[in-house]
Amino acid sequence: MKNIFLGASILGTLLLVSCNKDDNANDMNASLNVNYPAAYVVNGEDATISVIRLSTNEVTATIPLMGTASDMIMWPHHISSHEGHLAIGVPGMDFSAGHTGAMEGMTGKLLIVDAMNGMIIENLDLPAMNHNTIYSPDGTEIWVPQMDMDGKVLVYNASTYALTNTITVGMMPAELTFSANGSKAYVANGDDDTVSVIDVATKTVTATVTVGDNPVGAWKGTDGRMYVDNEDGQSISVINATTNAVDQTIDLGFMPGIASHNGVKSELWVSDPMAGKVHYWTWDTAMGMWMHGGVFNTGAGAHAITFTTDGNTAYVTNQTANTVSVVNVVNHTVSKTINVGKKPNGVVIKM
């Protein structure tokens, strides 16, 4: 097993405490009303979500996720959204120094939060730890990878939260993502150095793609490609979503935090957490491959990257700096640095 380490204890003072959808403390969020375009940033060490108003790039609210002593929500990680709901993976350990590592028998949580009022809708215990929790493209299901040597993906009904399918994948699966057209799911198997490709309709594995050393996620591109960040391999494997073949391997020279494709600008961004930088590549049509375009500073522990729908602005979480960088995509410069909670990692935008 690669890079085994244990997460640290949660520190910091929370604004208020909530446990699950039946906890009375959830009523304390009733005054929260995020009825504006916002970025939601998961702060792992604080177990909170910072809400950033996009029009002003200011933190307008902090949503607490901490449970009771018997139901701790520790180290929430990556976040996705669907029609007013936020889905969060809760592995229960610190991944800020890299996504690898787990202890056999550790459990995780499936957490669903109302994006408008911050109330916890569902807090479901899982058999094994999970990097992320994500709605299916049509919103009827919730898919959760299980980080275990006997790798599995659990599929839940999004209305009843009943388990409906269990899909066997590779060893120690990390992130699960969907293709741009929603027909395929991709699971990065860290200990297999592979990506499992799942037919969303049939819930069957249709292909297993060999990639680099210790893949963490296959990140969706709007160009018919998936971009796999290989942490130990220090590379990006570019998978053709039609053929399931690796069309290009981009050697980085650093451990990637995440890969994010900006289809509007035809750029591929990769965060460099150890150097606090983001590198970007541009598409060379003549050569049919990605070429390195440049690099710029964001903050210590640069990690997740998300773009606004017009492609002009990016938000980058800096885990060690406890900040979010707002980046002007046109000139690749940081226009503002926003203080958030401790060890921010996942970020998603709701318009």
pLDDT digits (tens, 9 = 90+) for 172-194: 999 999 999 999 999 999 999 99
pLDDT of 1 > 50? The answer is: no
pLDDT at 98: 75
| 68 — pLDDT class (breaks 50, 70, 90) | low
Domains and CATH numbers, the chain: 1-160 (2.130.10.10), 169-256 (2.40.10.480), 257-344 (2.40.10)
Look at residue 25 and give its three-state secondary structure. helix
What distance in Å separates the CA atoms of residue 80 and residue 58, rounded to the nearest whole number?
21
pLDDT of 20 > 50? The answer is: no
Q: Is the pTM for the entire model greater than 0.95?
A: no
CA dihedral 252, 256, 260, 265 (to 10 degrees): -30
| 106 — pLDDT class (breaks 50, 70, 90) | confident
Query: Which amino acid, 133?
Result: T
- Per the CB < 8 A criterion, the answer to whether 94 and 129 are in contact is no
| 104 — pLDDT class (breaks 50, 70, 90) | low
Instruction: Choose the weakest-confidence range: 15-19, 134-138, 315-319.
Output: 15-19
| 102 — pLDDT class (breaks 50, 70, 90) | low
For the segment 57-70, the average pLDDT, to the nearest whole number, is 84
pLDDT at 69: 52
pLDDT of 310 > 90? The answer is: yes
- 213-250 b/e (C-beta count within 10 Å ≥ 16 → b): ebbbbbbbbeeebbbbbbbbbbbbbbbebeebebeeeb
Could you tell me how far CA 82 lies from the centroid of its own chain?
14
pLDDT digits (tens, 9 = 90+) for 234-261: 999 999 999 999 999 999 999 999 999 9
pLDDT of 282 > 70? The answer is: yes
For the segment 141-145, the average pLDDT, to the nearest whole number, is 98
pLDDT of 281 > 70? The answer is: yes
* Residue 348 in tokens: 């998603």
Q: Which residues contact 331 (CB under 8 A, 6 or more apart)?
A: none
Q: Which residues contact 264 (CB under 8 A, 6 or more apart)?
A: 307, 310, 311, 312
pLDDT at 72: 78
What distance in Å separates the CA atoms of residue 181 and residue 68, rounded to the nearest whole number?
40
For the segment 190-209, the average pLDDT, to the nearest whole number, is 98
Instruction: Choose the weakest-confidence range: 91-105, 252-266, 285-299.
Output: 91-105
What distance in Å separates the CA atoms of residue 88 and residue 9, rounded to the nearest whole number?
19
Q: Which residues contact 330 (CB under 8 A, 6 or more apart)?
A: 312
Mean residue pLDDT of the chain comes to 90
